[in-house]
Chain A
């Protein structure tokens, strides 16, 4: 099996390390970091905004660049978290706690290096794990019937709902609304148009870019204009010695290993385990530490562990997408949308039918991680300067990126109107305390769920008990029910609220 894996990885590296693809990985990492480090732009908006850049490329090159953008944006987020305590996204909130304190003590360089090296280590391990277990998971998934798929997606949706901020009830409703938007267009089974109102632009469904760029890109612009974030101070300290000293290294190393394990495991869970992993690993380190009082005051382990967990989770969250065709978080939903635009259906078949793509992407993950370490530490001075760009100069450009992205896909004014509509809806939902992530997951998974539900029920003659008679399906459904029930318990609900508070 190990020989197989090495052989497959060799195929992957051969595909990913052509000069052009290395170039795309480089461009992706740079662009991602560049945008991710900018104030007020998180990882999801970055990926959504830059998605259209990949459409003219070969599928593998496009995916490699997008993956690079994803890692880069995450890395940029950590940099902003450490240097100015402005975590661009949920995954780097914990990093900001101790990273910023380290920076204030003049250890900014060390904190950045620890974050980078921890991420690189975690990324390497997670890549190997995917290479080792991805294919067997995919072949296990070959045994899945439509009923099992349906239940798997139910589990994915339950996880998404549980991990969304705020009320679970509202998250479910938002997700089902996404589901409804996913139904727009031609119904393949009956050949009937649904909710198209005679508009040709809707025949193939609601544009994925209009909904994702509206909900994540433009709504963010409006939110930042309405609630300007207090500007972070320009970090005054010099970024001298980029290397952690021996003591910092000794404290971080075991934390990195634990964070990696935790992140790799939690990342696979559908529903976006990477963020959860960074929180859990931080509190684990705090419990294990001999000096828990240093946490929050610049403990190197408090940077190393969540960064490792976050990055390992980000990596392994590709597993459900590539093996089951199930996006586990909004970013994976965006990448899945990109794959479908490139004419690739993510899922069990991808390993056997497009091994070049599957292994190439895995190899490129590692290459991307390496590039980030090699590139970003020397470029830290540039990122620091970017952090201080005023939002006044940024937001018109961000808005135009969004508009160009949506317009370039179909080249029709209607898509732009649709974008405006989803921006308004997303804004209203934001003001009601609803997160947009469940909507995009519902939008992507919805049509697939309908297809599998229909197939399963046709086979069973309309008998819903098929979902509990098949063992795989029953287990998955039981897991979803359990998950939702657990969330209904007051104690857990409280700790979930606290986790989001921090």
Chain B
């Protein structure tokens, strides 16, 4: 559990400014050109600056405009769903679909609290097999079922 005390608008402002700056930094080597002959960097630059300014306005606005605080963030769901996603991505090629999805599902279950053993066992065993039958055997998606 994480309690974020800054306001929603301020956090939004920070995200906007970071993304705008990233667009400017990583787009710095792109030729901007002129409006008559736009280069690949013309819009990235324009958009980067616009997003930054919108971020700044959103942030400054919090001085006089009330915005609710972000508040309690339960870390469990977001972190475990991300872990499950990445685990699937890293494992699916080497370990095959069944093992990768079993591990992903196992992780995701903890995103919802502590799972009971029979429920966890059921999900981890039945769901990957069912999905494999539907998508790989049935619909013929080209994903390896096993590691061999």
Contacts and interface: CB of A to CB of B under 8 A. Distances in A.
Interface string B118-144: 010001000110010001000111110
B88 A408 contact: no
Q: How many A residues touch the partner, as a band?
A: 35 or more
Contacts, number: 184
A400 B54 contact: no
B77 A222 contact: yes
B119 A419 contact: no
A429 B108 contact: no
Interface hub of A222, A414, A424, A461 (most chain B Cβ within 10 A): A222
Contacts of B16: 173, 177
A177 B19 CA distance: 7
A183 B15 CA distance: 19
Contacts of B131: 397, 400, 404
A225 interface: yes
Contacts of B38: 189, 453-454, 457-458
B61 to A, nearest CB: 7
B30 A464 contact: no
Contacts of A424: 78, 82
B105 interface: yes
Nearest to A53: B139
Q: How many B residues touch the partner, as a band?
A: 35 or more
B8 A432 contact: yes
A194 interface: yes
Nearest to B101: A400
A152 B74 CA distance: 42
A493 to B, nearest CB: 12
A180 B93 contact: no
A463 B35 CA distance: 8
A173 B78 contact: no
Interface string B42-81: 0110011011001101100100000110100110111001
B89 A417 contact: yes
Interface in B8-57: 8-9, 11-12, 15-16, 19, 23, 26-27, 30-31, 34-41, 43-44, 47-48, 50-51, 54-55, 57
Given A400-B127, A416-B88, A189 B81 contact: no
Nearest to A419: B85
A431 interface: yes
Contacts of B19: 177, 180
A460 B55 CA distance: 32
Contacts of B27: 194-195
A224 to B, nearest CB: 8
Interface stretch (A72-80, A164-172, A341-349, A352-360): A164-172
A464 B19 CA distance: 27
Given A218-B81, A399-B81, A403-B104, A458 B135 contact: no
Contact of A176 (B31, B47, B105, B128): B47
B148 interface: no
A432 B9 contact: yes
Interface string A419-434: 1100111011101111
Nearest to B112: A225
A192 B51 CA distance: 23
Interface hub of B51, B76, B109 (most chain A Cβ within 10 A): B51
Task: Name the prevailing secondary structure of the B interface residues.
Answer: helix
A392 interface: yes
B48 to A, nearest CB: 7
A299 to B, nearest CB: 34
B69 to A, nearest CB: 10
Contacts of A403: 85, 88-89, 101, 104
Contacts of B57: 169
B4 to A, nearest CB: 8
A417 B86 contact: yes
B99 interface: no
A397 B51 CA distance: 37
Contacts of B93: 413
Given A56-B140, A221-B81, A396 B108 contact: yes
Nearest to A193: B40
Contacts of A432: 8-9, 11-12, 15, 70
Interface in A157-203: 167, 169-170, 172-173, 176-177, 179-180, 183, 187, 189-190, 192, 194-195, 197
A172 to B, nearest CB: 6
A212 to B, nearest CB: 15
A216 to B, nearest CB: 14
Given A225-B111, A413-B92, A457-B36, A180 B51 contact: yes
Contact of A420 (B15, B70, B82, B111): B82
B70 to A, nearest CB: 5
A180 B51 CA distance: 10
A226 B2 CA distance: 12
A407 interface: yes
A408 B111 CA distance: 25
Nearest to A450: B43
11 contacts: A167-B9, A176-B50, A183-B44, A226-B73, A392-B112, A395-B111, A396-B108, A400-B104, A423-B82, A431-B70, A458-B37
Given A180-B23, A221-B77, 11 more contacts: A190-B40, A225-B76, A392-B112, A396-B109, A396-B127, A399-B84, A400-B101, A400-B128, A407-B88, A457-B35, A458-B36
10 tightest A-B CB contacts, nearest first: A462-B36, A416-B89, A225-B77, A432-B12, A462-B35, A173-B54, A187-B40, A413-B89, A192-B40, A420-B85
